Amino acid sequence: RPILEAKHVTKKFPLANGKELIANDDISLKFYKGQTLGIVGESGCGKSTFMRMMVQLEKPTSGKIFFKEKDITKMKGEELRANRRNVQMVFQNPATSFNPKMKVRDIICEPLMNFGLIKKKEKDAIARKYLEMVELPGDFVDRYPHNMSGGQQQRVGIARAIALEPEIIFCDESTSALDVSVQKTILELLVKLQKEKQIALGFICHDLAMISSIAHQVAVMYMGNIVEILPGEKVTEEAMHPYTKALLQSVFDIHMDFSKPIEPLEGEVNGATGEQKGCPFQNRCAYCMKKCREEKPELKTVGEKHELACHLKNTNL
């Protein structure tokens, strides 16, 4: 049973010209205890919008979001506020989300205080406990955000999130300001904490190679649509969607030997204004057929834990 489940979630935003932007188009995804689901796609594909709905910062236009058995889109007031504790988010740029005048002790304990879960005199011990979990020295409790590196700030952000003992944590690395090696150690820390605490992780990212190395399942998003879902460990060998393959190629480039190389990504990502018929990837796809312009491919099971939305019969191209 999933901890968190998106069922047919659609999010539309009104545009200045009177049309609508479909940021998320009928997305269904499940997050399980102790598992990582990575959502990957280019910037503007709608993955951050999706995450914002999962962490209750925004409501979907239609569809349901279940936390355990309860639809959070129907929650209001106190119930909604209380549920925030279960679904936490780690910000990609913690510096901008921290109050620069607050010490680490207060940064970590603020949500706990807000939820009325601890007393003031417990703050120091609790902040130190969670600093240890994120592998920072206890005396960091007296530091201010500007006295820490980006990686250390990120760790404090994680400490703040896990202090609430949430069931699921979302992390948006797609616009991370951290350099790659720091990002990697932060990732390893999250994976370690996940193993210890059996939390579910939702990881939003634009790096398919990186995400497939840590995620149990990877969902590939294109223009608001999930085009392929498959196990992280199978991405390199079993990816079928032309877009997933193109993403792989742009990452691995020289390491991958496609017998028949896929065309590089070309064409414009046109706004998903809902006017376009057929496959969202048609304008950039080297294999686009007549059917692709007329009929939108639905996600279908093509293997174990593997779903694909593409009309190609032979995806072994």
Residues interacting with ligand SF4, by CB under 6 A?
A: 242, 279, 281-282, 285, 287-289, 292, 297, 310-312
Minimum CB separation of residue 6 from ligand SF4 in Å reads: 22
Q: Give the chain's length.
A: 317
Nearer to ligand SF4, 66 or 287 (CB): 287
Q: Phi and psi of 261, rounded to 5°?
A: -60, 140
Which of the choices ligand SF4, Mg ion, none does residue 48 contact, using the CB cut-off of 5 to 8 A by kind?
Mg ion
| 174 is a site residue for Mg ion (CB under 5 A) | yes
Minimum CB separation of residue 279 from ligand SF4 in Å reads: 3
* Whole-number Å distance between alpha carbons of 166 and 183: 22
**Angle, alpha carbons 101-111-57 (nearest 5°):** 100
Q: Is 256 helix (H, G, I), strand (E, B) or coil?
A: coil
Which of the choices ligand SF4, Mg ion, none does residue 315 contact, using the CB cut-off of 5 to 8 A by kind?
none
Which of the choices Mg ion, ligand SF4, none does residue 72 contact, using the CB cut-off of 5 to 8 A by kind?
none
Minimum CB separation of residue 7 from ligand SF4 in Å reads: 24
DSSP element (H, E) containing 243: helix 242-252
Nearer to Mg ion, 145 or 202 (CB): 202
Nearer to Mg ion, 153 or 174 (CB): 174
- Residue (of 37, 77, 46, 63) closest to 169 by Cα position: 37
Region 28-87 residues binding Mg ion, contact defined as CB under 5 A: 48
Residue 11 C-alpha from the chain's centroid:
16
| 217 is a site residue for Mg ion (CB under 5 A) | no
CB burial of residue 4 (10 Å; 0-12, 13-18, 19+): buried
Contact set with Mg ion (CB under 5 A):
48, 174
